[in-house]
C-alpha cells in the first residue's frame, strides 16, 4: 500500500513545473549566495584620522593603520565635527583622534592618550573595530619603545608573552563557519515545510477527502508523504556536501556516517513539525504564516549568528526546545572540529527526543474523520 502512495508522491513532485527546479536551485543559491551575504567578517573598516599633532609619529601611526588588513584610511579631518560628518555620511566607520603634542608627551612624559570613536550601530563592527585599532596602537607603542630603549626586552621587567592561536578555522573565514548552519536552514525548508504545504494543498483541493474515505492507515499515508522528502533531503544534502567541497574546499572533518545519521534524525524531526502545522491549518496562507512565525523564532534563538552562550539564562532554556539549535551545533562540530559520535551524542539524543514528541503529536493529531 505504502509503495503506491510513495510512487504517487514522486510522480506529482517531478511533474510539478516549479518544485523540481526549486529543489535543485535551492542548494546552489544557499551555497553560492548565502555564505557571502551572511559573511560577518569585519574587514575594510574605513577610518578618518583627526591628526592635531602633524608630527612624524602621528603620521607613522596613521600609515600603520592604513596598512593593516582591517582598515582603510578614508581621509584626514581637522576637527572632531569635520570627522563626525564623514561618519554621518557613511564615508567612515571610525575616527582616530590624535591630540596635539602627541609626540612631545610620549617623549617627555612617557605617556599620552588618544581617542578612538567607532560607529557602534553595527556592534560587531564597532566592537571588533575598536579592538583591532587598540591592538595596532599598542603595537605601535611597542615599536617606539623598542626604538628608544633598545634593550627593553631584557631590562628585567616581568613581561608576559601572549601567543594567541586559533583552532579549526585558522584563516578566520566566516563563510566556513556559516556553511554548515546554512545547510541546516536548507534542510529545514526542504524537509519540514515543503511537505506541510503539500498536505495543506491536498486539503484545499479536496483530494485528501478521497484518501480519507479509503481504508488507508494514517501511518502509511503520513509515511507516504514524508519518505519522498527524506529521499530528496538526503539527495540535496549530498549535493551540498559536494558543492561545499568543490567551491570552498570545505570537507567535513568528522565521520560521514555520524553526519548522515544526524541528518536522518533531523529530517524526521522537522518533517514532524511540518506535519503538525499542516494538521492545524486549513489554508496554505495560514500554514505559510505559521511556518514563517516558527521559522523566525527558531532561527533567532538557534545560535545561527549569535552565540547561545551570550544569551541570558531564560533564553537559553528556550533553546533546549529548538531542534535547529541542536542540528546547527552538530553540523558545526562535525564539519569544522571533526567531533565524533561520542562528542555529539547529547545533541543527537535531544534531537531524537524532539523527533519523538513532534512525530508522535503529529500522528495523534492527524484525523481521518471529524
As a whole number of angstroms, the distance between CA 368 and CA 215 comes to 10
Tell me if 247 contacts another protein by CB under 8 A.
no
State in angstroms the smallest separation of the CB of 227 from another protein.
15
Tell me if 1 contacts another protein by CB under 8 A.
yes
* Contact criterion met (CB below 8 Å) for 281 and 290: yes
Task: Tell me, by CB under 8 A, how many residues bind another protein.
Answer: 131
Tell me if 11 contacts another protein by CB under 8 A.
yes
- Write out the three cell numbers for 234: 538526503
As a whole number of angstroms, the distance between CA 284 and CA 134 comes to 54
Among 125, 183, 244, 259, binds another protein (CB under 8 A): 125
Residues 296-355 touching another protein, rule: CB under 8 A, are 296-297, 300-301, 305-307, 309-312, 314-315, 318, 329, 332-333, 336-340, 343-344, 347
Tell me if 151 contacts another protein by CB under 8 A.
no
Would you call 366 helix, strand, or coil by DSSP?
coil
Among 151, 154, 249, 257, binds another protein (CB under 8 A): 154
State in angstroms the smallest separation of the CB of 253 from another protein.
9
As a whole number of angstroms, the distance between CA 314 and CA 61 comes to 45
**DSSP letters along 39-72, please?**
------EEEEEEESS--HHHHHHHHHHHHSSSEE
Among 48, 58, 86, 119, binds another protein (CB under 8 A): 119
Would you call 183 helix, strand, or coil by DSSP?
helix
Tell me if 223 contacts another protein by CB under 8 A.
no
Q: Which stretch binds another protein (CB under 8 A): 113-121, 230-238, 266-274, 352-360?
A: 113-121
* Contact criterion met (CB below 8 Å) for 253 and 337: yes
Among 135, 245, 246, 349, binds another protein (CB under 8 A): 135
As a whole number of angstroms, the distance between CA 261 and CA 233 comes to 13
State in angstroms the smallest separation of the CB of 263 from another protein.
18
- 360: nearest Cα among 274, 263, 272: 272
Residue 211 bridge partners (DSSP): none
State in angstroms the smallest separation of the CB of 353 from another protein.
18
Q: Are strands 94-98 and 45-51 parallel, antiparallel or unpaired?
A: parallel
Tell me if 88 contacts another protein by CB under 8 A.
yes
Residue 98 bridge partners (DSSP): 51
User: Which residue matches cell numbers 493529531?
Assistant: 365
Residues 264-303 touching another protein, rule: CB under 8 A, are 284-286, 288-290, 292-293, 296-297, 300-301
Q: Which is nearer to another protein, 18 or 257 (CB)?
A: 18
Kindly tell me the burial class for residue 293, based on how many C-beta atoms sit within 10 Å of its own C-beta (0-12, 13-18, 19 or more): exposed
Mask 156-195, x = binds another protein (CB under 8 A)? xxxxxxxxxxxxxxx-xxx-xx------------------
Q: Which is nearer to another protein, 35 or 233 (CB)?
A: 35
Tell me if 150 contacts another protein by CB under 8 A.
no
User: Which residue matches cell numbers 538557534?
Assistant: 302
Among 24, 67, 205, 364, binds another protein (CB under 8 A): 205
User: Which residue matches cell numbers 483530494?
Assistant: 207
Tell me if 69 contacts another protein by CB under 8 A.
no
Tell me if 225 contacts another protein by CB under 8 A.
no
At 132, phi and psi to the nearest 5?
-60, -45
State in angstroms the smallest separation of the CB of 293 from another protein.
5
State in angstroms the smallest separation of the CB of 50 from another protein.
13
Amino acid at each position: 500500500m505504502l509503495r503506491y502512495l510513495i510512487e504517487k508522491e514522486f510522480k506529482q513532485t517531478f511533474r510539478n513545473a516549479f518544485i523540481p527546479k526549486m529543489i535543485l536551485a535551492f542548494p546552489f543559491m544557499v551555497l553560492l549566495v548565502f555564505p557571502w551575504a551572511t559573511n560577518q567578517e569585519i574587514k575594510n573598516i574605513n577610518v578618518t584620522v583627526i591628526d592635531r599633532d602633524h608630527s612624524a609619529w602621528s603620521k607613522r601611526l596613521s600609515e600603520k593603520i592604513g596598512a593593516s588588513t582591517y582598515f582603510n584610511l578614508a581621509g584626514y579631518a581637522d576637527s572632531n565635527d569635520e570627522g563626525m560628518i564623514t561618519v554621518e555620511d557613511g564615508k567612515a566607520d571610525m575616527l582616530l583622534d590624535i591630540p596635539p603634542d602627541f609626540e612631545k608627551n610620549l617623549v617627555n612624559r612617557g605617556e599620552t592618550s588618544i581617542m578612538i570613536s567607532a560607529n557602534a550601530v553595527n556592534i560587531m563592527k564597532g566592537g571588533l573595530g575598536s579592538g583591532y585599532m587598540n591592538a595596532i596602537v599598542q603595537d605601535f607603542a611597542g615599536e617606539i619603545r623598542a626604538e628608544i630603549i633598545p634593550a627593553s626586552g631584557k631590562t628585567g621587567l616581568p613581561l608576559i608573552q601572549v601567543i594567541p592561536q586559533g583552532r579549526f578555522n585558522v584563516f578566520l573565514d566566516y563563510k566556513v563557519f556559516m556553511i554548515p548552519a546554512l545547510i541546516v536552514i536548507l534542510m529545514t525548508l526542504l524537509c519540514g515545510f515543503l511537505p506541510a504545504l503539500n498536505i495543506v494543498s491536498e486539503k484545499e483541493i479536496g483530494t485528501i477527502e478521497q484518501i480519507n474515505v479509503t481504508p488507508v492507515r494514517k501511518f502509511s499515508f503520513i509515511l507516504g508523504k514524508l519518505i519522498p522528502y527524506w529521499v530528496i533531503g538526503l539527495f540535496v544534502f549530498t549535493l551540498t556536501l559536494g558543492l561545499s567541497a568543490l567551491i570552498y574546499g570545505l570537507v567535513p572533518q568528522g565521520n560521514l556516517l555520524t553526519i548522515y545519521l544526524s541528518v536522518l534524525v533531523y529530517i524526521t524531526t522537522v518533517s514532524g513539525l511540518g506535519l503538525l502545522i499542516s494538521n492545524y491549518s486549513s489554508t496554505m496562507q495560514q500554514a505559510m504564516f505559521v511556518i514563517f512565525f516558527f521559522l523566525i523564532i527558531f532561527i533567532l534563538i538557534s545560535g545561527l549568528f549569535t552565540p547561545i552562550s551570550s544569551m541570558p539564562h531564560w533564553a537559553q532554556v528556550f533553546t533546549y526546545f529548538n531542534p535547529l539549535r541542536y542540528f546547527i551545533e552538530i553540523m558545526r562540530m562535525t564539519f569544522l572540529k571533526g567531533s565524533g559520535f561520542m562528542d555529539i551524542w547529547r545533541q543527537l539524543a535531544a534531537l531524537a527526543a524532539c523527533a519523538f514528541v513532534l512525530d508522535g503529536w503529529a500522528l495523534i493529531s492527524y484525523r481521518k474523520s471529524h
